[in-house]
């Protein structure tokens, strides 16, 4: 038992050493971040209400706000949508969320967004119920939680979404705060009122194919947001 306790102690100690920044209680200098540029569509999803889902149909740009109680009335089956957002939670239109839906997701990790030119043919994960809650395991880990500032920070993972029988989409979440950049919330506490305003970059595959059109980034995120469609 003593040997086991010693092993556990050293494991925890090594973890804290490797992740000491997350255990700091004093402000740290901001990390140097890669500047995100895009010519792709960028939308903003208002997911502030923890008791509702903001359903988004990326093909049409339409949204539908669904209260938690409405989900029991088969509203997921009656509405055209691809992904649903509620604070940090994201669900897809398939599996346990909607057995009639066919939306699935693959997490490619923090790869070069523009380098992803084709959607994989298989491997898409649908929603499940875990501990009584709807979850898509590919989407559930899209962010880091910074214990020092209690803020949410996107991992900038790239996701491929199979949109039922309507083709494919690639996307990534660029930010979680209204009026704030991710790097601003690394060294200061961003308020709950500013949170759950997700900025999502996405590209739909060309009609009838698994191929994504290629863009060469040239404009900053702030510029692209000025010309994009904001979803509230």
Mean pLDDT of the 177-204 span? 74
With cut-offs at 50, 70 and 90, classify the pLDDT of residue 172: very high
Domain holding 122, by residue range, is 34-231
How do residues 92-127 score in pLDDT, each as one tens digit?
Answer: 999 999 999 999 999 999 999 999 999 999 999 999
> And the tokens for 63?
């949204």
In-domain check, residue 144: yes
In-domain check, residue 27: no
In-domain check, residue 111: yes
pLDDT at res. 75: 87
Q: Distance between CA 110 and CA 159 in Å, rounded? A: 9
In-domain check, residue 191: yes
* Mean per-residue pLDDT of the chain: 79
In-domain check, residue 7: no
Number of domains in the chain: 1
Whether residue 182 contacts residue 82, with contact meaning beta carbons closer than 8 Å, is answered with no
Instruction: Report which listed range, 30-44, 45-59, 72-86, is most confident.
Output: 45-59
With cut-offs at 50, 70 and 90, classify the pLDDT of residue 3: low
pLDDT at res. 149: 72
How many Cα atoms sit within 13 Å of 232 on the Cβ side? 2
> And the tokens for 86?
């509620």
Instruction: Identify the CA nearest to 136 among candidates 89, 180, 195, 71.
Output: 89
Instruction: Give the residue, 121 or 166, on which the prediction is more confident.
Output: 121
In-domain check, residue 17: no
Instruction: Identify the CA nearest to 97 among candidates 11, 164, 41.
Output: 164
In-domain check, residue 60: yes
């Amino acid at each position: 038992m003593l040997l086991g306790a010693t092993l556990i102690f050293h494991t925890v100690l090594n973890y804290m050493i490797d992740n000491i920044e997350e255990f700091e209680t004093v402000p740290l200098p901001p990390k140097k971040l890669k500047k995100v540029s895009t010519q792709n569509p960028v939308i903003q999803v208002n997911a502030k209400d923890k008791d509702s889902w903001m359903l988004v149909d990326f093909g049409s740009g339409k949204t539908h706000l669904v209260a938690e109680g409405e989900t029991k009335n088969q509203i997921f089956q009656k509405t055209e949508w691809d992904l649903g957002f509620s604070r940090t939670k994201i669900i897809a239109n398939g599996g346990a969320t909607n057995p009639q839906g066919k939306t699935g997701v693959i997490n490619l990790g923090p790869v070069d967004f523009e380098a992803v030119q084709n959607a994989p043919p298989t491997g898409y994960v649908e929603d499940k119920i875990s501990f009584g809650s709807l979850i898509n395991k590919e989407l559930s880990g899209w962010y880091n939680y910074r214990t020092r500032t209690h803020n949410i920070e996107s991992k900038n993972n790239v996701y491929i979404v199979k949109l039922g029988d309507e083709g494919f989409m690639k996307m990534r979440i660029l930010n979680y705060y209204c009026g704030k950049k991710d790097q601003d919330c690394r060294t200061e506490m961003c308020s709950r009122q500013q949170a759950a305003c997700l900025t999502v970059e996405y590209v739909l595959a060309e009609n009838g194919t698994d191929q994504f059109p290629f863009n060469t980034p040239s404009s900053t995120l702030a510029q692209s947001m000025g010309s994009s469609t904001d979803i509230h």
